[in-house]
Structure 1
Amino acid sequence: MREIADRLRAWNDSGARYAVATVVSVGGSAPRRPGAAMAVAADGEAVGSVSGGCVEGAVYELCQEVIRTGEPVRQSFGYSDDDAFAVGLTCGGTIEVLVQAGPVPDAALEAVSRDAQVAFVHVLPPGPVTGTGLLVVWPDRHHGTTGLADADAVVAGEARAMLDTGKTGTISVRCRDDLDVFVHSYAPAPRLLVFGAIDYAAAVARIGRFLGYRVTVCDARPVFATPARFPEADEVVVDWPHRYLAAEHERGSVDGRTVVCVLTHDAKFDVPLLEVALRLPVAYVGAMGSRRTHHDRLSRLRRAGMSDAELARLRSPIGLDLGARTPEETAVAIAAEFVAARRGGTALPLGQIDGPIHHDSQTASAEVA
């Protein structure tokens, strides 16, 4: 959608009628991934691509049909050995395409154009469709409808969770009426920055990847910070931790979803790193160490000029009280704490609390016109 957003906004401005085809699933060696989009205007102009040319002609005709009828169409394409000249993918893969009538809301197109976090939720036929059958979800609000007004908040919450991790795909939402929806997220995966190339870091990197984070392990000691020791990390960096974090912030790659885990429990690394981390707008900062190490660390940070408000953001000793001993158990305790911090959970057993099971610290039910 990003590559055709500007043209769709121009069509909106001119009042042009159009339809948008979106790849919602792929199999085999399909040339485009889920989320690839093509749009066709009523005057015949086409922009974008769903297959690199294999089935564009057929999809073009489907778009024209949807412009005429206003009814969404879901169509699968694949290669047929029985008819080599059939409309399909010569690469041998399969794609499923959803075609919906426009317009796509200007606010959503603007968000996509400027690389803001936004998710497009497409109701898949034969689900109920009202208007364009498109729900647009931001981290703090949503616009449009699935066709079931009382389900919109539930669907938006599920989509928001996918947006938070940058995931795209088809999900089934179980509410009053079951819905199958395709969620296309425009957001990179959140970052998990693990400082300290120790055995616990390997376990934290592993669970971070499982949770959908882009994991970086950083340590100033090259003998320990090697890809071979941290195969689950997306990148392993040899640098002084405070210098690396400050540089990443300057690059704009650290945001309000970022999780920082300080596992070095060595003052010469920890203190300058925490001075940087606790002053950044990240989601979570935790530091490993004994209670004695924690109190010594706080004293050093106060002497470095950190305020009580800044220090209150520090989760230390890191992790929830699970009785963990092994690196893997400790990683679960750490992950449980930062998930609770990000999602607004209490970290208490569900059987001891009342209220909703699924938390959403954002204003998930807010809707904009």
Structure 2
Amino acid sequence: MFEVLSRAVEPLRRGEPVVLATVTRAQGSSPRDPGASMLVLADGTVVGSVSGGCVEGAVYEIGRQVMDDGVPVLEEFGYSDADAFAVGLTCGGVLTVFIQRIDAEQADLVSRIVEDIDAGRPVSWVSVVRHPDPDWLGRRVVVRPESHEGSLGERFADHAVVSDVRGVLATGDSRLMHFGDGGERMGNEMEIFVSTFQPPARMLIFGAVDFAAALAEQSSILGFHVTVCDAREVFATPERFPAADEVVVQWPHRYVAQEAEAGRIDRRTAVCVLTHDAKFDVPVLRAVFDLPDEIRPFYIGVMGSRTTHDDRVRRLTEAGATGDQVDLMTSPIGLDLRGRTPQETAVSIAAEIVARRWGGTGLPLDEVTGPIHAR
């Protein structure tokens, strides 16, 4: 949702309504995850996508209807063996899309959400997508860690929903939630969709080497906020790493301690140590290993040959690292693609990070069974 909201502010300021279509449920091999959104403007312009092309035409037509009458629509698109192209979702699976109109009176609300996104502040947009009383459909509330605005129309429902959504906001998830028709936590009559924005996960690359430049580019494509850090000022320059969001001249282990203290490292963070130089590697790895479990990066990849890895393990052990800590690192880094160039190596590392993040096997899809996309 949040990738398209910025395009809604100007037309809303002009007094023009917009229509927001959001994926609320994705099953099977459907191409987009919950939270993916498409915006339809009053002049017919389309921004974003809910399916990568499969059902955009049908959603657009429903969106024009919603633009005219203001009545929200929850539509399910699926695959039919008998008439697949008529249904639209030709890749299989089931996609549920909620289509709602946002009126000009909501311009300030949307603008504040966009400001949150630009500033990297967490925020959730909550919409009622199913309810026994049609008047509840489309009611919305915006939830932040310490505040909320808007209302579902009942104080009890606001309290229960906002309280529970804060837990979702903390995890960064977008998901469906169920309550009773008045907000009771044990009920199922009301279905809300929580679309959550969290700042991008971080990629910390230590070592200003050629492989780092290629990995910074790949990591940026994956949506990470990329930092390249090296103590050597002559190598750690923005010109050498144009894809990085920031280039830091600092001893890596000191940078880790600084960022952890500031609360800028968490379980979504990935760390790649590319220096294969013991005077850099050992201190920074000890710093990462010693982070509390709740903020330790989910991926700690370290570059080097198997011989270098064995020597590194010996040095880490001598420096006080435990066997369990040593096991936290992935070394040699990357999947077995047999690549040779920095760019091919970066693809190998990026592929391993994606597999680690979502529980993938790293095997060719035609050698495994089961769902193609993580849910």
User: Aligning the two structures, in what range does the TM-score lie when normalised by the shorter sequence?
Assistant: 0.5 to 0.7
Corresponding residue to 2:258 among 247, 252, 255: 247
Unaligned runs of 5+ in 2: 18-38, 45-99, 107-116, 142-164, 179-192
Larger helix share, 1 or 2: 2
Given the alignment of the two structures, is residue 76 of structure 1 paired with residue 73 of structure 2, yes or no?
no
Give the aligned residue type for 1:190.
A
Q: Which residue of 1 aligns with 2:222?
A: 211
Q: Which residue of 2 aligns with 1:335?
A: 350
Q: Which residue of 2 aligns with 1:267?
A: 278
Q: Which residue of 1 aligns with 2:287?
A: 276
Deviations 1:308-339 (A, max 9, x none): 22111100011111001000000000001111
CA contact (8 A) 1:74 1:97 kept: no
State the 1:294 CA deviation.
Answer: 0.3
Q: Which residue of 1 aligns with 2:370?
A: 355
Q: Which residue of 2 aligns with 1:225?
A: 236
State the 1:358 CA deviation.
Answer: 1.6
2: distance between equivalents of 1:257 and 1:303?
Answer: 29
2: distance between equivalents of 1:305 and 1:286?
Answer: 19
- Give the 3 Å change call, closer, same or farther, for CA 24–209 of structure 1 in structure 2: closer
2: distance between equivalents of 1:191 and 1:226?
Answer: 19
Corresponding residue to 1:197 among 202, 205, 208: 208
CA contact (8 A) 2:267 2:297 kept: yes
- Higher mean alpha-carbon deviation, 253-262 vs 300-309, is at 300-309
2: distance between equivalents of 1:23 and 1:235?
Answer: 23
Deviations 1:250-305 (A, max 9, x none): 11111111110000000000000000112332110000001111011111111222
2: distance between equivalents of 1:355 and 1:201?
Answer: 34
Deviations 1:74-94 (A, max 9, x none): 76279xxxxxxxxxxxxxxxx
Deviations 1:91-140 (A, max 9, x none): xxxxx9624999xxxxxxxxx9x9557565797xxxx9983377976546
Q: Which residue of 1 aligns with 2:319?
A: 304
Query: What TM-score, normalized to structure 1?
Result: 0.56
Q: Which residue of 1 aligns with 2:138?
A: 132
Give the aligned residue type for 1:214.
H
SS at match of 1:76: coil
2: distance between equivalents of 1:212 and 1:119?
Answer: 21
Q: Which residue of 2 aligns with 1:143?
A: 176
Give the aligned residue type for 1:304.
A
- Give the 3 Å change call, closer, same or farther, for CA 265–129 of structure 1 in structure 2: farther
2: distance between equivalents of 1:282 and 1:23?
Answer: 25
Give the aligned residue type for 1:256.
R
SS at match of 2:239: coil
2: distance between equivalents of 1:349 and 1:238?
Answer: 39
CA contact (8 A) 1:76 1:97 kept: no
Identity among equivalent positions (%) equals 49
Give the aligned residue type for 2:236.
A
SS at match of 2:237: coil
Give the aligned residue type for 2:247.
V
State the 1:54 CA deviation.
Answer: 3.8
CA contact (8 A) 1:134 1:144 kept: no
Give the aligned residue type for 1:98.
I
Q: Which residue of 2 aligns with 1:98?
A: 102
Deviations 1:170-210 (A, max 9, x none): xxxxxxxxxxxx99542111111111001000000011111
SS at match of 2:176: strand
- Give the 3 Å change call, closer, same or farther, for CA 77–336 of structure 1 in structure 2: same
Number of matched pairs = 240
- Give the 3 Å change call, closer, same or farther, for CA 122–99 of structure 1 in structure 2: farther
CA contact (8 A) 2:265 2:297 kept: yes
Q: Which residue of 2 aligns with 1:55?
A: 14
Give the aligned residue type for 2:277.
D
- Give the 3 Å change call, closer, same or farther, for CA 319–143 of structure 1 in structure 2: same
Q: Which residue of 1 aligns with 2:110?
A: none
Query: What TM-score, normalized to structure 2?
Result: 0.55
Give the aligned residue type for 1:251.
A
- Higher mean alpha-carbon deviation, 242-251 vs 305-314, is at 305-314
- Give the 3 Å change call, closer, same or farther, for CA 240–97 of structure 1 in structure 2: farther
CA contact (8 A) 1:75 1:98 kept: no
CA contact (8 A) 2:203 2:226 kept: yes
Q: For 1:16-95, list aligned pairs within 5 A.
A: 25=4, 33-34=6-7, 50-51=9-10, 54-55=13-14, 76=42
- Give the 3 Å change call, closer, same or farther, for CA 243–23 of structure 1 in structure 2: closer
Give the aligned residue type for 1:132.
G
2: distance between equivalents of 1:349 and 1:74?
Answer: 38
Give the aligned residue type for 2:102.
L
Give the aligned residue type for 2:281.
D
CA contact (8 A) 1:74 1:99 kept: no
Give the aligned residue type for 1:76.
A
Given the alignment of the two structures, is residue 294 of structure 1 paired with residue 305 of structure 2, yes or no?
no
2: distance between equivalents of 1:328 and 1:237?
Answer: 22
2: distance between equivalents of 1:191 and 1:119?
Answer: 23
Given the alignment of the two structures, is residue 346 of structure 1 paired with residue 361 of structure 2, yes or no?
yes
